[in-house]
Structure 1
Amino acid sequence: MFRPLSIFIGTRYTRAKKRNHYISFISLTSMIGLTLGVLAMIVVLSVMNGFQKEMRSRILGMVPHAVLQNVDGKPLENWQAVAAAALKRREVVGAVPYTELDGMLSFKGQMQPIEIDGVDPQQESKVSIIGSHMTQGSLEALKAGESGVVIGEITARRFRVNVGDSLLLIVPESSSAPGGITPRMQRLNVVGVFKVGAELDGTLALIHVDDAAQLLRWQPGQVQSVRIALKDLFKAPAVGASIASDLGSGYRSVDWTHTQGSLFGAMKMEKTMIGLLLLLIVAVAAFNIIATLIMVVADKRTDIAILRTLGMTPREIMTIFMVQGTVIGVIGTVVGGTLGVIAAFNVTAIVSALEKAAGTHIFSSDVYFINYLPTDVQAADVVLVCCAALLMSFLATLYPAWRAANTQPAEALRYE
């Protein structure tokens, strides 16, 4: 099979020779370093993708993707019309009544701040995952007028309460009193406990939307807003603003990027920074390729001089060593990428096996919100890592190859 002479010689130089085992060893370590760097980057990025996916599904499965409300903050008189307008959009999969208020929960002298969401338990499954994360009771146990409440597992553990116990809700209310604010108290009966494995387990509680209206002294049927859920939650800002615009100037949209955007922005930045740090491992392997090729050039000075006297051009000499370094980079990247993808797909099972062998839990549910190591292999990350490794490997060949191309035949053969 015909191959260009430069490629043929370059691939021959990658093979071990009896008299240059040290150079071959350095080439092997460069290849192994590149393999380990690519493997580590793919596994770590996949694990971080898994954590982001879990947090996104749990947190954004509980909080509203977007809410439609009056600009002046007054309650909606006819929320059904707003919901009907939202459901006309193909992107919207659910639109339900929603009221949000802040307060304090008290039990036997203990207190904690809480966000209270007024919901319709019969329709909440259209926009929330809470129904599938109940550990005690049920969401349907919330009945209008019965002052029921569903709390998170962290709140229940902190107060040491279960279904059937009572809590005191304290809500601030504006008044004409000298202080300007008077507390309003309401006794709530725990009818359910949920656990989604996120901070919301300790900061969120749910009551019936009619009880929320009564607590705020609104008329029956009035709600604060309409909560919508979208097929693609990342389109929430645009879709929510568009629906509010269609409803008129008296409406506005508030989406999840205003309430949870900073959290996911921080997670994205963390993934980027860790990826850049791990890229240094690949960079070290690329520098090893430079060292390897410089030693090869020094070892092959006589061969280079002979090839030059036989008519080979400097560009062809340069190509020989670029091919040699690129072969090391390609093999290391392919092997590392393959092993990285295999390891990333099986990292959850590997960690579980290690936990069983060690007899301990690395991710204890008492400490961490997620008690296992999630993973999400994304093709874009794998391609990006492999391309970065190949690019750095190629760039590492340029200087040694340039030095080889500038070798003077007369000087190299002077003492031969």
Structure 2
Amino acid sequence: MQFASHPIMVDAVLHGNTVNFSIWCVSQAFTLECGMDFFRHLPFELFVGFRYTRAKRHNHFISFISLTSMVGIGLGVAALIIVLSVMNGFQNELRNRILGVAAHLQITGPDNNLKDWKKLVMQVDGAPHVQAGAPYIMAQGMLSYGQSVQGAIIRGVLPDAEDKVAELGSHMRSGSLTDLQPGEFGVVLGAELAQALGVVLGDKVVLMAPQGQFTPTGVVPRIKQFKVVGVFEIGMYEYDSGLALVHIEDAAKLYRMGDSVSGVRLKLDDLFDAPGVARQLGQHLMGKGNYYITDWTQQHANFFRAIQMEKRVMFIILALIVAVAAFNIVSTLVMAVTDKRADIAIMRTFGASPSSIMQIFIVQGALIGVIGTVVGACFGVLIALNIDVIVPFIEHTLGVQFLAKDVYYISDLPSKLLWSDVTVIVVLSFILSLLATLYPSWRAARINPAEALRYE
């Protein structure tokens, strides 16, 4: 900005704008020498770029387009952060709730009949990454109480061992898993299943096993009366409405399993190591019997693949929205370049290079993108961190429920903010904003000073 203190030189070159430009140069020199150290030490391109952004333009339409670009970028960035946080929350919540009932690993035998399960538990109990193991019996049944009849999955468990491989004990609404005692034929029902049957603690339900027994009068189902000793609520409709727990010995008697079980459930120290641990156990148990090992990623793969695919698609769609908003900067800068043709010509006359002119408008466009990105990121992070409060407030105010329990697996809208996602979104928005400045800046750098000042 050395030329700002030499208005006489400006007068000698410019004819139509001598007075105005001289006053501008003198005022700039006076401002710089009055203590604005920050702006004094800025490079010429940054100083002029910031000034063009801060200046009150006589063309209000350009200012409106700039504001629209900032708002569009901000909304796009905020939407990306919020949507990805909700998708992360769904994935995390779904995984936690499924694994609160299911197991990290399951080992079964042929026809779901495992006889030497005690020996198997001892073999795998000391394996790397395996924390605990528990046997189970899985079968189908029909529960009835009064006039109500409901089908359910019947799981026979050892209460003490079950608490080590699943989190059902922490989701008990009433009663306890330890109330399941062998020979007493107690049952623990899911909350939705208990509500559908209309039972409470102490009521007795009739459990009918589909495997029949032959009598002189024909085949009749096996029937046994069970006492409701507990109710659990996982918060996942599939399990709350269709799962009943009984003691493993009672299940073995009803389904005539003898000393056999359906399989063994294992808990690992890191659930994400399940595929690797399954392969290791498969090699370890090879030749010791016919075992089938499955992990939670195989049993519920469709859920997590669908969520991951939806997350990627939503990222692409919302990134296009950010791109559209970012490329509004192109129209803003094109109009700004047209509006500043005389200024560009004057700066070129006083020695500013084409690259300097180009950098000025890159700074102006980048500043629009940075402001929109920062505001949008702050707004998106704020909503993502408080979505558990905002959504219930909206539902209460409007009297609607966005996620019905009988339709969706999760009835609440979860959110998990990952700063890695925020970083990627912010960097992407900034890069798109920079790309949008290249053409208008290149066009400004090609302006011929003589042509621009001919009619001024």
* Alignment counterpart, residue 54 of structure 1, candidates 79, 93, 105: 93
Deviates more, 1:31-40 or 1:120-129: 31-40
Tell me how many residue pairs correspond in the alignment. 410
Tell me the equivalent position of 2:76. 37
Q: 2:342 & 2:95 partners in 1: Cα distance? A: 61
Partner SS for 1:61: helix
In structure 1, stretches of 5+ residues that fail to align are none
SS at match of 1:296: helix
How far 1:296 moved relative to its partner?
Answer: 0.7
Q: Which has the larger radius of gyration?
A: 2
SS at match of 1:328: helix
1:239 aligns with 2:277: yes
1:291 maps to what in 2? 331
Verify: 1:145 aligned to 2:189, yes or no: no
Task: Evaluate the alpha carbon distance shift between residue 279 and residue 86 of structure 1 in structure 2; reply closer, same or farther with a 3 A threshold.
Answer: same
User: TM-score, normalization: structure 1?
Assistant: 0.88
Instruction: Tell me, yes or no, if the aligned pair for 1:15 and 1:24 is still in contact at 8 Å.
Output: no
Could you tell me which residue of structure 2 aligns to residue 83 of structure 1? 121
Alignment of 1:35-184 (within 5 A): 35-70=74-109, 72-73=110-111, 75-108=113-146, 110-173=148-211, 183-184=221-222
SS at match of 1:336: helix
Q: Is residue 212–residue 222 contact of structure 2 (8 Å, CA) maintained in 1?
A: no
3-state secondary structure, aligned to 1:315: helix
Q: Distance in 2 between matches of 1:174 and 1:239?
A: 39
Structure 2 letter corresponding to 1:20? N
Distance 1:176 1:158 in 2: 31
Cα contact 1:363–1:370 (8 A) shared by 2: no
Counterpart AA for 1:12: R
Q: Percent identity?
A: 47
CA apart distance, 1:132? 1.5
Q: Secondary structure at the match of 1:229?
A: strand
**Which is worse superposed, 182-191 or 232-241?**
182-191
Q: Which protein has the bigger helix share?
A: 2
Distance 1:162 1:107 in 2: 11
Give the aligned residue type for 2:103: P
> Does the Cα contact within 8 Å between 2:112 and 2:261 map onto a contact in 1?
no
* Partner Cα separation in structure 2 for residue 172 and residue 314 of structure 1: 85
Contact preservation (8 Å) 1:241, 1:252: no
- Kindly indicate whether residue 311 of structure 2 is the aligned counterpart of residue 271 of structure 1: yes
What amino acid does structure 1 have at the position aligned with 2:278?
G
For the residues of structure 1 that align with 2:160 and 2:441, how far apart are their CA atoms?
71
Kept in 2: contact 1:153–1:201 (CA 8 A): yes
Could you tell me whether the CA contact under 8 Å between 2:209 and 2:222 is conserved in 1?
yes
- Compute the displacement of 1:365 (Å): 7.9
Q: Is residue 16–residue 24 contact of structure 1 (8 Å, CA) maintained in 2?
A: no
Kindly indicate whether the alpha-carbon contact (under 8 Å) linking 1:46 and 1:344 is maintained by their aligned counterparts in 2: yes
Consecutive unaligned residues of structure 2, counting only runs of 5 or more, are: 1-39
How far apart, CA to CA, are the structure 2 residues paired with 1:268 and 1:8?
A: 45
Pairwise CA RMSD of aligned residues?
A: 2.9
Paired position in structure 1 for 2:64: 25
Say whether residues 1:303 and 2:331 are aligned partners: no
Range with bigger deviation, 157-166 or 289-298:
157-166
- Determine if contact 2:104/2:296 at 8 Å carries over to the other structure: yes
| CA–CA distance in structure 1, aligned partners of residues 170 and 67 of structure 2 | 52
**Pair 1:259-2:306 in alignment:** no
Contact 1:68 1:244 in 2 (8 A): no
- After TM superposition, the structure 1 = structure 2 runs for residues 382-397 of structure 1, keeping only pairs within 5 Å, are 382-397=422-437
Distance 2:272 2:214 in 1: 43
Alignment check: 8 A CA contact 1:302 1:413 kept: yes
Provide TM-score, normalisation by structure 2. 0.81
Return closer, same or farther for 1:307/1:392 CA change in 2, 3 Å cut-off.
Answer: same
Q: Which residue of 2 aligns with 1:376?
A: 416
Deviates more, 1:378-387 or 1:316-325: 316-325
